[in-house]
Chains A and B, each alone.
Chain A
Amino acid sequence: MSSTQSMLELLSPYPPGWGGVLLSGALSTVMISLGAYLVGVLIGLLGATGKLKGNRPVLFVLDVYTTAVRAIPELILIIGLYYAGTDGLNRILLSLGLPAIEINGFVAAIAVLGIVQGAYMTEVLRGAILAIPVGQIEAASAFGMRPFLRFRRIVLPALMPNALPGLANLWMSVTKDSALIAVVGYQELALATRLAAGNTKHYFLFFLAAAALYLVITLLSNVVFGLLESRFRRGQPKTA
């Protein structure tokens, strides 16, 4: 069948085909997601500590942050932060007498998605820390562990099994939210697909291929998180 032949040619990874563009798009989707996820974990850890230990003003700021991010549509947040972030940075540079810079789309995407992830991460980690029996943390303090050692040896291992399902959900949502970056014009999988489809007029084929790539990312992540969870839950009694 000649149409099957031409489909394979269209999807081939070498220049006449668009497979290479899709694959490099998929790679940048994964890289953006990983970066944003790490930024999110950092913000989440700080936010969770702030929400549990902070004073009034800190609590208020964090409450506004998590509520706002969770109430505003992702698309609007991403576009707003993207423009506000690049614009704001350039204004600061201008006021310092420095020339304006063109912000790398990759860095901006990671920052924007990371800020969104951070809000959800704050809530997930806060819940997971609250689920740790207080006695364990008190015991660690009683042994004279300093906060950082206590976090590394006691809180983190106890927190992981509680937090992992939430963390897995967030990873899935960041890989899919990263498609929204296409709207501000950074070339990841969704935009690469649109480019390929628009150039060849084979819309159906390319969007289906992109969906398959996203599905592969999701299914692989499922396996990885399953392994992680069984590792962090080792030694725990199995529930029926």
Chain B
Amino acid sequence: MNFSWIFSYWPLLAAGAVQTVLLLVISVGFGFILAIGLALAQVSGPRWLKWLTRGYCTCLRGTPLLIQLWLLYYGVGSLLPLVPGLRGSFLWPIVREGFFFAALSFTLNYAAYEAEVLRGALLAVPKGELEAGRSFGMSSWTLLRRIWLPRAVRIALPTIAGEVVLQLKATPLAFTVTVMDLYAVAYKVRQDTLLVYEPLMVVTVFYVLLTLLITRAFKLVEAQVPARR
């Protein structure tokens, strides 16, 4: 076992860790917002919207994330230069990077899984609480903001914690589209030093630590709301 490479690769490892965490935060943050919309559409939207969102969730949950990522990066990415005016615009430096496609596909994928979770949670909110809110004269927006959504998120919290960890474990796929995330750094170390296991081990320790951190954080959030069991 030879870990002396760590000293010279330390900055790269740190930068990779930042990329990994950034991918996670972006996909979970935007994905969650998207998921709220998708879940609400499935629970109380008009029929065509229900069908559309159901179809979206089925398609994204039924195909591997790797294929979705490659479809976006290679497929859509090869069509993007054909869009007139895009190449000269300020967006071009962003949309030509692998990071953009990785973040986009992870967000869309996370939203599909999270929407299923939230849909169940929205349906699990006791009816009486919603009726109580309505009888206070709350508009449906206020009801959603003050009662329905917070209660649903509270119910879904343990599952969301699991989903976030799963999302973290999906981020190494970004290395297949040239993102220098933590795993890509390990890959580079392997190519430079011909060490196979040591970089993988170091990276693994980081992922496990981050997993522990996420589960701890969610435990803390869960403890904020007293629950009677």
Say yes or no: is B140 at the interface (Cβ < 8 Å to chain A): no
In contact, A76 and B204 (Cβ under 8 angstroms): yes
In contact, A211 and B176 (Cβ under 8 angstroms): no
B214 to nearest A CB, angstroms? 11
Say yes or no: is A176 at the interface (Cβ < 8 Å to chain B): yes
Interface of A is mostly: helix
In contact, B196 and A207 (Cβ under 8 angstroms): no
With a cutoff of 8 Å between Cβ atoms, the chain B residues found around residue A182 in the complex are: 66
Say yes or no: is B207 at the interface (Cβ < 8 Å to chain A): yes
In contact, A80 and B63 (Cβ under 8 angstroms): no
In contact, A74 and B169 (Cβ under 8 angstroms): yes
In contact, B71 and A75 (Cβ under 8 angstroms): no
B73 — nearest CB in chain A belongs to which residue?
A203
A87 — nearest CB in chain B belongs to which residue?
B196
In contact, B170 and A73 (Cβ under 8 angstroms): yes
In contact, B172 and A75 (Cβ under 8 angstroms): yes
With a cutoff of 8 Å between Cβ atoms, the chain A residues found around residue B171 in the complex are: 73
Query: What mask results when residues 189 to 216 of chain A are scored 1 for a CB within 8 Å of chain B, else 0?
Result: 0100110010001011101101100110
Query: What mask results when residues 186 to 227 of chain B are scored 1 for a CB within 8 Å of chain A, else 0?
Result: 100000000011001001100110010000000000000000
List the interface of chain B (C-beta within 8 A of A).
Answer: 58-59, 61-68, 70-71, 74-79, 165, 168-173, 176, 183, 186, 196-197, 200, 203-204, 207-208, 211
22 contacts between A and B (CB under 8 A): A71-B165, A79-B200, A80-B197, A83-B197, A172-B62, A175-B64, A176-B64, A176-B65, A178-B64, A201-B78, A203-B75, A203-B77, A204-B75, A207-B74, A207-B75, A208-B75, A211-B59, A211-B63, A215-B63, A218-B62, A218-B63, A219-B62
